[in-house]
Chains A and B, each alone.
Chain A
Amino acid sequence: DAGVTQSPTHLIKTRGQHVTLRCSPISGHKSVSWYQQVLGQGPQFIFQYYEKEERGRGNFPDRFSARQFPNYSSELNVNALLLGDSALYLCASSSEGGGETQYFGPGTRLLVL
């Protein structure tokens, strides 16, 4: 079975641009969560979506947005990129939107110049 997939694997943008990152959960999983991992730190929670509805949001500015599609895949959008947005963006899927185990994808490494 395929695990969590993310695209693209790497991305280079300049300040002020916007970016869209994509995630496909494990087949049968209905919940997707997004995390940002800055170099040398643990992942920080950005969003959780379940059945296309936002279930939770971390302490991130409104420049960050996300959505979930009927097939449970998800997009993370970041507008007006800042140098500090350079990070590994991780997507995790879980079967439901409760306390189930979250399985992570390989991540998208974003570099903002």
Chain B
Amino acid sequence: GEDVEQSLFLSVREGDSSVINCTYTDSSSTYLYWYKQEPGAGLQLLTYIFSNMDMKQDQRLTVLLNKKDKHLSLRIADTQTGDSAIYFCAEIHNQAGTALIFGKGTTLSVSS
């Protein structure tokens, strides 16, 4: 996961917006992903963005992509306690099959 970097922790209050940031290194990545992991569970796909897009909105989720800076962000509007989890940013590397390369994850803590 060294190719993808994320801040490790984010704490917000219920009802606020959360912004989770990620930087990646492979400019040839075609897709970039956000996954959510709750304690003791597998990874749930939240959303993804194609590399030729700048923004994608899906209900409470907004993904912004800055290709020049290789920066990806996930904004969660009206954050709820149920959003508390670890969020992983991932990019596709095509050199070894189609491997997802993950960051270390950002732990989002939502307080009521």
Q: Is B42 a contact of A33 with CB atoms below 8 Å?
A: no
The answer to whether B98 and A106 touch across the interface, beta carbons within 8 angstroms, is no
Chain B residues closer than 8 Å to A48, beta-carbon distance: 96-99
Contact count band on A: 20 to 34
Known pairs A42-B1, A42-B103; A97 contacts B41 (CB<8 A):
no
Decide yes or no: A40 and B41 within 8 Å by CB, A48-B99, A104-B35 being known contacts. no
Residue pair A44, B41 in contact (C-beta under 8 Å):
no
Residue B44 is within 8 A (CB to CB) of chain A in the complex: yes
Q: How far is the CA of A56 from the CA of B33 in the complex (A)?
A: 20
Docked pose: A48 CA to B41 CA in angstroms: 21
Instruction: Answer whether A94 and B105 are a contact pair too, CB < 8 Å, given A42-B88, A101-B45, A104-B42.
Output: no
Name, among A42, A98, A102, A107, the residue most crowded by chain B CB atoms within 10 Å (CB to CB). Answer: A42
Which of B31, B43, B90, B98 sits near A55, CB closer than 8 Å? B98
